[in-house]
Structure 1
Amino acid sequence: MNWESPHRLWLLAGVVGLLAGYLFLQRRRSRYAVRFTNLRLLDRVAPNRPAWRRHVPAGLFLAMLSLLVVGFARPNADVRVPRERATVMVAVDVSTSMLATDVAPNRLAAAKSAAHGFVADLPKQFNVGLVAFAGNASVLVAPDTNRKALDAGIDRLAEGVTGTQGTAIGEAINTSLEGIRSLDAKAAETPPPSRIVLLSDGANTSGRDPETAANEAIEAGVPVDTISFGTVDGTINQGGGQPLRVPVDGDSLRAVAGVTGGAYHEAESSDELRKVYDNIGTSVGYRTERQDVSARFIGVGLLLGLAAAGGSMLWFSRLP
Structure 2
Amino acid sequence: MSVSGFAAPWWFLLVVVVAALVVGYVLALRSRRKRTLRFTNLELLERVARRGQGRARHVPAALLVVSLLLLTFALAGPTAEQKVPRNRATVMLVVDVSLSMKSTDVEPSRLRAAQDAARSFAEGLTPGVNLGLISFAGTATVLVAPTTERGGVTHAIENLKLAQSTATGEGIFAALQSIESFSAVVGGAEGPPPSRIVLMTDGKQTVPQDEYAPRGAFTAAGMAKQKDIPVSTISFGTSYGSVEIEGKQVPVEVDDTSMREIARLSGGDFYKAATAEELKRVYDSLGEQIGYETKEVDNSRPWVALGTIALVGAAASSLLIGQRLP
TM-score (norm 2): 0.67
The residue number in structure 2 matching 1:308 is none
1:238 aligns with 2:245: yes
Q: Is the 8 A contact 2:183 2:192 kept in 1?
A: no
The residue number in structure 1 matching 2:108 is 105
The residue number in structure 1 matching 2:196 is 195
Q: Is the 8 A contact 2:132 2:144 kept in 1?
A: yes
For the residue of structure 2 that corresponds to 1:135, the secondary structure is coil
> Does the C-alpha gap of structure 1 residues 120 and 295 become closer, same or farther in structure 2, counting only changes over 3 Å?
farther
Distance 2:246 2:139 in 1: 24
Distance 1:214 1:191 in 2: 20
Distance 1:124 1:285 in 2: 8
Aligned partner (choices 93, 96, 101) of residue 96 of structure 2: 93
Uncovered stretches (5+) of structure 2, i.e. residues with no partner? 23-51, 57-66, 209-214, 310-326
The residue number in structure 2 matching 1:20 is none
Distance 1:293 1:9 in 2: 20
1:140 aligns with 2:143: yes
1:257 aligns with 2:263: yes
The residue number in structure 1 matching 2:274 is 268
Q: CA shift at 1:296, angstroms?
A: 5.8
Paired residues, what number? 257
Distance 1:221 1:203 in 2: 24
Uncovered stretches (5+) of structure 1, i.e. residues with no partner? 15-23, 29-63, 305-320
Distance 1:174 1:243 in 2: 32
Q: CA shift at 1:185, angstroms?
A: 4.0
Q: Residues 124-135 of structure 1: matches in 2 within 5 Å? A: 124-135=127-138
Q: Stretches of 4+ moved more than 6 A in 1?
A: 7-11, 64-70
Q: CA shift at 1:261, angstroms?
A: 0.5
**1:9-28 deviation per Cα after TM superposition (whole angstroms, max 9, x unaligned):** 999xx9xxxxxxxxx99xx9
Q: Residues 41-56 of structure 1: matches in 2 within 5 Å? A: none
> Does the C-alpha gap of structure 1 residues 65 and 2 become closer, same or farther in structure 2, counting only changes over 3 Å?
same
| Percent of residue pairs bearing the same amino acid type | 42
Q: Is the 8 A contact 2:15 2:69 kept in 1?
A: no
**1:245-300 deviation per Cα after TM superposition (whole angstroms, max 9, x unaligned):** 2111122211110011101111100111111112222222655432212246668x
Question: Match for 1:227: what amino acid?
Answer: I
**1:41-100 deviation per Cα after TM superposition (whole angstroms, max 9, x unaligned):** xxxxxxxxxxxxxxxxxxxxxxx9999886565320123445553100000000110110
TM-score (norm 1): 0.69
Distance 1:80 1:231 in 2: 35
